[in-house]
Structure 1
Amino acid sequence: MQRISIVSPCFNEEDNVTACYEAVKAIFDRDLPGYEREHIFVDNASSDRTVEILREIAATDPGVKIVVNARNFGVYKSTFNGLRHATGDATLCMLPVDLQDPPEHLPEFVKLWESGYDIVAGARSTREEGLVLRSARKAFYRIVNWLSEFELSPDVGEFQLVDRKVLNAVLSHNDHYPYIRGIIASVGFKKVIIPYTWKARKRGVSKHNLLMLIDQALNAIFAFTKAPMRFCTFVGFGIAIFSILFSLFSIIAWFMGVGDAPRGTTTIIVALFFLSGIQLLFIGMLGEYITAIHNQVRGGPTVIEKELINIGQENGFESPSRSGAVTSFPTRKA
């Protein structure tokens, strides 16, 4: 029997985890009876009853596996680490427990995967959200696709079913801050995109604020493109050429007696602030790359796991063959 793995990150989602579990289980019982279900919940150190509820679920259902982080490592790091625990023949990379990405599409995804597609990606063609956020997302995808060396399909997130070989290729990336949808797009393989409606959240409050979205966008740009540094090079070269030409023009004008070279405090102030702004912009871009490099070369685990539930390792401890995460506690069997 083939196994389908589903990874669901959560943080303070006591109102949603049960509904998510029941929705996925009902879909497998009704539409995917010939497949084994592996539902991995990755908890980011919730302070409410999320882990307690998941513990109760896992005690009665061995198909539910739980990773409890020692602290909140963010949704991408936690999800990427959860993918390391997936053992399925195909894996749904991210199904948030708020069910804004509808699990009802999973049977269709599995059918397409069985027909030969290595990646079945859901595209949020319709979003039940405000105009500002929709416009900002569209602008982001245009910028990334313009700057990157590969195409990041618009509106495609981590709601993707990937074959085992694709997941292995994704997990081979030793990335301190993994941008999962970008990594999946970069590895290639045969892909099909299925549009769907991204639903409004019914319960609870989204943990993604504007600053987190900006951080994720900058991570995508600086992780998968070299265009910002190219931009700095070309603009710097252009300003240098302009300065040389301006100097030559001033000297020639002086020798020909065609008036004095432009002078005045206004010109100096404008030029000074313009060049200072350009320098600060370029220093900021360099800082983004240096910070990313610094975090990468420091090494260390991407995520620290506090507890594993229904996830078996030999002798109850974390296998040393799996990089990127450290588990300091023995595995608990629910």
Structure 2
Amino acid sequence: MATPVIKSDHAAQQRPPVSEPERRRLVSYVLPVYNEAGGIQTFQDRLLAASQTRPDLDFEFIYVNDGSRDGSLQILERIAESCPLVRVVDLSRNFGHQMAITAGLDHARGDAVIVMDTDLQDPPEVSMELIAAWESGAQIVYAQRRSRKDTPMKRFTAHAYYRLLHRFADVDIPVDTGDFRLMDRATTDVLRAHRERNRFVRGLVASLGYKQVAVPFDRDERTSGQTNYPMSKMLRLAADGVTSFSTVPLKMITRLGVATVVLALLGIVYAIGLRLFFPDVSVPGWTLLMIMVLFLGGVQMLSLGVIGSYVGRIYTEVQGRPLYMVQKVVEHDRDAEPLRRDRA
């Protein structure tokens, strides 16, 4: 009868454990597009070239078509057909730049998310510096404009706006920064939980806290087309920024009301004093009366306008309507994962 052989598992115990392959990190780009047909392909080429300098990372490019009317969607669809990294989120209409950013964030799957415009004023190469700062431990990295190639009027208004907002806002919003920034997965998820309709994304990001660092850069000229932020939109964005993160306008109404009451009391004292001590001196009638009526009427209308802005924000919030609506999502292969490069 053969003697059974008992194999020792000592060798198996000495064998080093097989380690699982390290998961490659994914960086998502959120790229809002509105009437940028003249420069999208150039932007895509530069962005793709910049991403190829980091073969250790995986990338996905999420273009959000915000109701473009110039053929931008058709160009984006062709890009998506030829590039596995690209996904196109087509909104049902124009919802605005801030909503387009929100839609892109909702579709981003990356460990880090970079938001930038596609007009090439924000150089794609700078995004690699944002990634480097993220890898050094920062959770939010914002690109801060060191210089900008705009008209003198544009530079003056932007300079004044950012500093007034920085002074009035209840949160510390960095000056000379737009929406060009990187956020890690945790901060992106927290930002996505903010579903207010009157959105001012750069203010929302600043209010999150976490570890934030700046990367200075020089802003380039627009390569094609016209700015999508004319003066009317800039004023609207400025109003959203102030009313979203500051109650200073309401406090100014109170101070203006106090000042008006003080002036009115002084006028009453003046009129009574003339009546008692200088009865022969007639008090000017119509001129003083019209000045006071017009002044008080202007103050009241201005105050109602400011209060109405805050009440209007409350009205739109309580309606609870969707922030945006997606018409379709176009990608190279809906079932495929983002492009995985071989290790260098």
TM-score by length of 1: 0.88
- Deviation string for 1:194-230 (max 9, x for gaps)? 1111111112222221111111111111111100001
Task: Report 1:104-183 matches (<5 A).
Answer: 104-183=125-204
- Deviation string for 1:172-211 (max 9, x for gaps)? 1121021111111111111111111111111222222111
2:89 is paired with a residue whose SS is strand
- Does residue 274 of the first structure (1) align with residue 276 of the second (2)? no
Whole-angstrom CA distance in 1 between matches of 2:168 and 2:226 = 33
Whole-angstrom CA distance in 1 between matches of 2:147 and 2:27 = 26
Task: Give 2:82's aligned residue.
Answer: 60
- Does residue 72 of the first structure (1) align with residue 94 of the second (2)? yes
- Does residue 102 of the first structure (1) align with residue 123 of the second (2)? yes
2:110 is paired with a residue whose SS is coil
Shift of 1:312: 9.2
Contact 1:250 1:261 in 2 (8 A): no
Contact 2:195 2:323 in 1 (8 A): no
Contact 1:77 1:177 in 2 (8 A): no
Whole-angstrom CA distance in 1 between matches of 2:229 and 2:328 = 25
2:325 is paired with a residue whose SS is strand
- Deviation string for 1:45-88 (max 9, x for gaps)? 22233222211221232321111011111111111121111111
Unpaired runs of 5+ in structure 2?
A: 1-23, 336-344
- What amino acid is aligned across from residue 80 of structure 2 in structure 1? A
Shift of 1:170: 1.4
Task: Give 2:64's aligned residue.
Answer: 42
Contact 2:64 2:88 in 1 (8 A): yes
Task: Give 1:85's aligned residue.
Answer: 107
Task: Give 1:286's aligned residue.
Answer: 307
Contact 2:84 2:332 in 1 (8 A): no
Q: 1:193 aligns with which of 214, 227, 237?
A: 214
Identical amino acids, percent of aligned pairs: 28
Whole-angstrom CA distance in 2 between matches of 1:270 and 1:312 = 70
Contact 2:80 2:332 in 1 (8 A): no
Task: Give 2:46's aligned residue.
Answer: 23
Q: 1:305 aligns with which of 310, 317, 326?
A: 326
Shift of 1:238: 2.1
Alpha-carbon spacing, 1:8–1:185, altered in 2? closer, same or farther (3 Å) = same
Whole-angstrom CA distance in 1 between matches of 2:259 and 2:198 = 34
- Deviation string for 1:15-54 (max 9, x for gaps)? 222122221111111x211111011000012223322221
Q: CA RMSD in A?
A: 1.9
Whole-angstrom CA distance in 2 between matches of 1:265 and 1:67 = 64
Shift of 1:249: 4.5
- What amino acid is aligned across from residue 112 of structure 1 in structure 2? A
- What amino acid is aligned across from residue 107 of structure 1 in structure 2? M
Larger mean CA deviation between 217-226 and 240-249 belongs to 240-249
How many residues are paired up?
A: 312
Shift of 1:259: 5.8
Whole-angstrom CA distance in 1 between matches of 2:70 and 2:177 = 31
Contact 2:84 2:333 in 1 (8 A): no
Q: 2:224 aligns with which of 203, 209, 212?
A: 203
Task: Give 1:8's aligned residue.
Answer: 31
- What amino acid is aligned across from residue 291 of structure 1 in structure 2? G
Structure (1 or 2) with the larger CA radius of gyration: 2
Whole-angstrom CA distance in 2 between matches of 1:243 and 1:270 = 12
1:103 is paired with a residue whose SS is coil
Task: Give 2:3's aligned residue.
Answer: none
Whole-angstrom CA distance in 1 between matches of 2:223 and 2:329 = 29
Contact 1:66 1:311 in 2 (8 A): no
Bigger relative contact order, structure 1 or 2 (CA pairs below 8 A, ≥6 apart): 2
